[in-house]
Structure 1
Amino acid sequence: MHRGVLAAGCLAAMMAAAPALAQTTPAPASTPAPEPPKPDPTGPFGGSITGIVTLTSDYRFRGISQSKNDPAIQGGLTYEVPLPFIGFAPVSIYGGFWGSSINFSPDVDESIELDMVAGVKFKFLQEKLVLDLGWIGYRYPGSMKSAHLAYDEFGGALSYDFGFATLAGQVRYSPNFFARSGDAWYKQAMLTVPLDFIKISEKVSFKMFGGIGHQAVQRNARFANPDYWEWQIGLVATIYGVDFGVTYVDTDISRRRCNGGGFNYCAPRAIFSISKSF
């Protein structure tokens, strides 16, 4: 599990055997990140700077709590700049960061996850089809170096906007996953459907989403969990530019494994969030 060893309160046991897991991107939050506005260029070279702040009732990453089922505050900034048209599709490059409060274990003095992102986007068919190839670096300032929490992921995401729905998929690979658990693959598919038939106000809109993902890890003992499936379904209401979300999250990890450190870190749960993009 991503950060599962610590989220389950199992860090001490893990380190006794050996030195010791958020969308697009990190978005390691359960609810898909609200679509950022498309402003006039706000950065150098004709690029745009967008940001997001979120308050969530539980920080779940790939179905597993990173905050001991407690609330978390999150935020990030991204800078994206278009490149000269190269012939077959518009291209842009981006970079940024995303962070969240976390709570893994009293054994480790960590309170922040900081993710760095960089990549390139190819946009086809009037930008309805988007291919995103990038890197995510997960870092944990203040954590014990011997726990080896930091890791990197490389991969891609492909999405297509049909108008009535958007279908997206992503594949991520880490050569040495969280807590040095070896090669790891994450694969996910997600469907988002705008509920345009609900007419309340021009300033109010709704959308539903659902997704399923699979996390596979080479060294399950270090990861403290088997390979597993996770899924989610939710609703987002955008009211005057603020996104209110509720997401039901679950995994197929057994109840026995989930109940670590006195709390169920991967048990099914409804998660509530408030987000604002700018």
Structure 2
Amino acid sequence: MTVSRKIFALCGVLAAAAAASTAALADGYEVAAPAAPVEEGRKFTYSFNIGVTSDYVFRGISQSDNDPALQGGADVSWGMLYAGVWSSMVDFNNAPPANAEVDWYGGIRPTWQSPLGAMNLDFGFIYYSYPGANPDNSLPVATADPNYWELKAGYSWSVLHPSLVTGTTVYWSPEYFAKTGSVWTIETMAAWTLPKVSVFTPTVNGVLGWQRGSISDGYWVNAIATDNEYYYWNVGLALAVEGMTFDFRYWDTNIGGDAANICPVDTLCDGRFVFSAKVAIP
């Protein structure tokens, strides 16, 4: 990451702090968040969000070369239907040569009244794009097309306790990042909202994820290309106050010191603490 981009990312911290007095949390990829109540009526809602993170980590792997990243997006919904766009700074050390990630997503969130209580369902898609990457699919993975899309299906509910939300989401891409073939990802989450402390509403939450691809399609996670799956996890504390959320989180994976391909070097997928601050309007 260049010095100018580091300065820009740090300026993002100040910008987020300046905007802190007005908004609510929203994000294109909000890990381990409690499920929001699903709006069954035909009500139109919208929100805009901006945030900054000390390290943009996606499924256990740093997407910003262990550096800060400015992020933001917009969301709309109409009853059960939703759509949005979310973007973040990225740094892959020119492999691929992208400076930003822009995610486009949409879907439907119905509610199923099960014998054990209401279950929130989510069926949707996500398109991950990297403007300016200039892919060349005739060359190695490092310069292959990074753009890809996923389908997802998941649920969340509070069957054990009103303050405890659990859920699982399955993702599938027919052609994953950098043309690495069909890839499955499964994430299980849990979030416990605690009683309010002063002005803050704390939530302890975490995710356990698993991802698997095909070595023959170019997906592997070790230097000798014999391992085609890995696990990742995070656990953290989110503090919400009016329109802002501060998130303190620990990330890690089971990828060892011989990381390669999906995680180019082990310093991008080893254990780390990440701090994020996000606001949204309205």
Relative to the length of structure 1, the TM-score reads 0.77
Tell whether the 8 Å contact from 1:26 to 1:136 is kept in structure 2 after alignment: no
Aligned pairs for 1:127-276 (under 5 A) are 128-146=118-136, 147-161=144-158, 162-196=161-195, 199-201=196-198, 203-219=199-215, 222-225=218-221, 226-257=228-259, 264-276=267-279
CA 1:149 to 1:179, structure 2 compared with 1: closer, same or farther past 3 Å?
A: same
Matched with 1:117 is: 105
Q: In the alignment, which residue of structure 2 is the partner of 1:17?
A: none
| Residues 97-151 of structure 1: per-residue CA shift (max 9 Å, x gap) | 1111000113543111001001111123499421110010010000022121011
Q: Deviations over 1:200-238 (max 9, x none)?
A: 33x321010011010101237733513100011000111
CA distance in 2, matches of 1:113, 1:101: 6
Residue pair 2:38, 2:110 contacting (<8 A) in 1 also: no
Equivalent position of 2:85 in the other structure: 97
- The alignment partner of 1:179 has SS state of coil
SS in 1 for 2:258: helix
The runs of 5 or more residues in structure 2 that have no matched partner are 1-25, 137-143, 222-227
Q: Distance in 2 between matches of 1:186 and 1:244?
A: 27
Q: TM-score, normalised by structure 2?
A: 0.76
The aligned amino acid for 1:132 is: D
In 1, the alpha carbon distance for the partners of 2:260 and 2:247 equals 25
Give the CA deviation at 1:96.
1.2
CA separation of 1:215 and 1:108: change in aligned 2, threshold 3 A: closer
* Matches of 1:173 and 1:189, distance apart in 2: 15
Tell me how large the CA RMSD over aligned residues is: 2.9
| Pairs aligned (count) | 237
Determine the C-alpha separation between the residues in 1 that align with 2:151 and 2:265: 34
Alpha carbons of 1:227 and 1:33: their partners in 2 closer, same or farther (altered >3 Å)? same
| Structure 1, gaps ≥5 residues long | 1-24, 83-91
* Counterpart for residue 4 of structure 2: none
User: For the residues of structure 2 that align with 1:208 and 1:49, how far apart are their CA atoms?
Assistant: 27
